[in-house]
Amino acid sequence: MPDLTGIQFLKLCGSKCKIILTTAYPEYALEGYEHDVLDYLLKPVAFDRFFKAAQKASTYLQPAVQALPSVVPNSPLPAPPDPTPDYMFIKGESKNKFLKVSYDDILYVEGLKNYVSVFTSGQRLVTYQTLRDLEAQLPQPPFYRVHKSYIVSLNKIRMVDGHTIYIQDEAIPIGETYRDGFYKMIREE
Arithmetic mean of pLDDT, 109-126: 87
d(CA 109, CA 135): 9
As a CATH number, domain 86-189 is 2.40.50.1020
Render pLDDT for 139-152 as a digit per residue (tens, 0 to 9).
888 888 989 999 99
Arithmetic mean of pLDDT, 10-26: 74
Q: 1-68 belongs to which CATH class?
A: alpha beta
d(CA 168, CA 166): 6
- Residue 70 pLDDT greater than 70, yes or no: no
Residues of the chain with CATH 2.40.50.1020: 86-189
Distances (CA, A) of 144 to 123, 131, 165, 166: 20, 12, 12, 14
Arithmetic mean of pLDDT, 38-55: 81
- Residue 67 pLDDT greater than 70, yes or no: no
- Residue 65 pLDDT greater than 60, yes or no: no
Residues of the chain with CATH 3.40.50.2300: 1-68
- Please tell me which residue, 27 or 183, carries the higher pLDDT value: 183
| pLDDT, position 166 | 92
- Nearest CA to 88 among 147, 149, 153? 153
Distances (CA, A) of 120 to 64, 86, 101, 126, 184: 37, 15, 9, 11, 26
- Residue 92 pLDDT greater than 80, yes or no: no
